[in-house]
Chains A and B, each alone.
Chain A
């Protein structure tokens, strides 16, 4: 199987006042199409940095990273933006919906940045956005503003936004961090379902409950991989 995400000895060093902070210090990891992976670690372990690098919001200072067979180090800012738009879907802990747009417009946001042949007209965007909302079970809430929705519903809208471009990878950063346990379960069930359907899902979390849903857990400590193993779900 071709790997979708290929990290080879990836380093991310920051220079803070003469001192070098090794947020990532030689991480090698490969994630294949269709995998369901949780990246775990305590605060300061480098999991957020890894998430940013996988998400092409940040570039490694050493090693190399291939996403969908493209060397990320070689891309400029515009190409990175394009790659994020094409290949990735982001889900954030605090949802990050735009407060003045209704659910449909929020979901359609990535579509307005599509370029070239992929360019869409406003009616096409609405159709695609509505379809994505259907997928997360919010087909009837399209005209609601974020503040008219519950936390769980907002996160569903955010997931629909991440899905609308049919990304190869769904990247979720603590997706249940701001939700109560019942809603968390529903959201995790949604991720399970999406993974089942073939979407590659990468979760970043510090909660074991959440990580348990994944088929593979990569644990980081001090910028290095501590363990990388298949869970019961994965082997089953």
Chain B
């Protein structure tokens, strides 16, 4: 009796007990479905984090000014002036492996106008390298250059959202807008409509509703509260030839440097995307282990179900086994027949489970808005596991069937 023969017989027997076969398969179906759905959520979250970290820059270290209540701030300001251009210069001079250091100022304007149109937007004063650093793409026009910075040029690069609100479908380049009481001329429009994403509490700003101006312009033309740190953020970019892990040690160096410069006042925080990545990977692994165990239990229960039904089948078909043995079936033939049957249950269950898992992943993506990603490896893993379940839960019943005494089996009522 060859494999095809056994498979045909297995399918016929499953078909003869449709409800029973389906119920038996359910355990495997849910188990495999759960494995795939869980892994897809995990993989989706991981990809999202990776994308975010990529936007922060894997070789970057970001220093942010912390915000405090005014009372605390007054106390801190006696020791430290906050993040300033002094820090930028110190970093450029003393931190090894630094390619560029890009300061940034965030300003919350009280009004943004163009003609009669009003927009809600934030202002960011950035240096000329910022666009490259944060991989901002331009749809139209240009970004600033060092000359603009030197001249405190009153120009702006705006995001798509702001462009739409202020200028509708008109060409924005060369148009003027007023932020607070400063007139700015639009020289560039960013492309893309990236969304604000948050992962592990670190958010990446949405450039859609931002207005970028040269940092010198921001420093000179816009008022800031005297207690505020002069700069909001400093982005440190390491040289490309350095390994990615270098950002971790650079983070430590920056820590020491800033601690000295700020008189040990902790009015800044250092964000190392590389560390975030490692953290996110750890969280991910934990999630996978927990969810994998839950799905594994479901598969285990499914396997027990298969074994149970296979034992019942063997008992029910004792006479058939006797007849087959009498007409020349070897123990091996009987073993294969029942093993293939158990494989068929788990294999079919696995297939349906894959479909179910993919569907659940899609539904989660649609309803909860979580990104899900069904990977080939998760499908392969789930299928292999379901086959292994069929193997493990089928081997004992099949052996029992093969070891039955033909004479006893023929007499079995």
Contact = CB atoms under 8 A, between A and B. Distances in A.
Contacts of B319: 96
B328 A81 contact: yes
B407 interface: yes
A24 to B, nearest CB: 14
A28 interface: no
A109 B334 CA distance: 13
Contacts of B330: 77-78, 81-82, 113
Interface residues of B, number: 22
A109 B407 contact: no
A189 interface: no
A85 B410 CA distance: 16
Contact of B329 (A96, A98, A113, A165): A113
Contacts of A36: none
A84 B407 contact: no
A58 interface: yes
Contacts of B326: 55, 57, 84, 90
Given A90-B326, A109-B323, A100 B13 contact: yes
B362 interface: no
Given A96-B319, A109-B324, A110-B327, A57 B406 contact: yes
A52 interface: yes
A77 B331 contact: yes
Given A96-B319, A96-B410, A85 B328 contact: yes
B93 interface: no
Contacts of B410: 57, 92, 96
Nearest to A82: B328
A3 to B, nearest CB: 23
Nearest to B328: A85
A161 B327 CA distance: 9
Contact of B331 (A57, A78, A84, A98): A78
B281 interface: no
Contacts of A110: 327-328
Contacts of B329: 81, 113
Interface in B314-329: 319-320, 322-329
Contacts, number: 59
Given A78-B331, A113-B329, A113-B333, A100 B12 contact: yes
A119 B322 CA distance: 22
B328 A114 contact: yes
B320 A98 contact: yes
A112 interface: yes
* Interface of B, helix, strand, loop or mixed by DSSP: helix
B186 to A, nearest CB: 78
Contacts of B252: none
A31 B289 CA distance: 70
A224 B232 CA distance: 109
B407 A113 contact: no
Interface string A79-111: 001101110001010001010110000000110
Interface in B1-38: 1, 5, 12-13, 16
Q: Identify which of B319, B320, B327, B328 gathers the most chain A CB atoms within 10 Å of its CB.
A: B328
B79 interface: no
Nearest to B8: A122
Contacts of A100: 12-13, 16
A78 B331 CA distance: 7
Contacts of A52: 407
Contact of B327 (A77, A90, A101): A90
Contacts of B5: 112
A155 B227 CA distance: 104
Nearest to A97: B323
A113 B332 contact: no
A114 B319 CA distance: 21
Given A98-B320, A98-B323, A100-B12, A113 B331 contact: no
A82 B326 CA distance: 10
Given A100-B16, A161-B327, 15 more contacts: A52-B407, A57-B326, A78-B332, A82-B328, A86-B328, A92-B323, A92-B410, A96-B322, A96-B323, A100-B12, A100-B13, A109-B323, A112-B1, A113-B324, A113-B333
17 contacts: A52-B407, A57-B326, A57-B406, A78-B330, A78-B332, A81-B331, A81-B333, A84-B326, A85-B328, A90-B327, A98-B320, A112-B1, A113-B327, A113-B329, A113-B333, A114-B328, A161-B327
Interface of B: 1, 5, 12-13, 16, 319-320, 322-333, 406-407, 410
The 4 closest A-B pairs by CB, nearest first: A85-B328, A110-B327, A113-B328, A81-B330
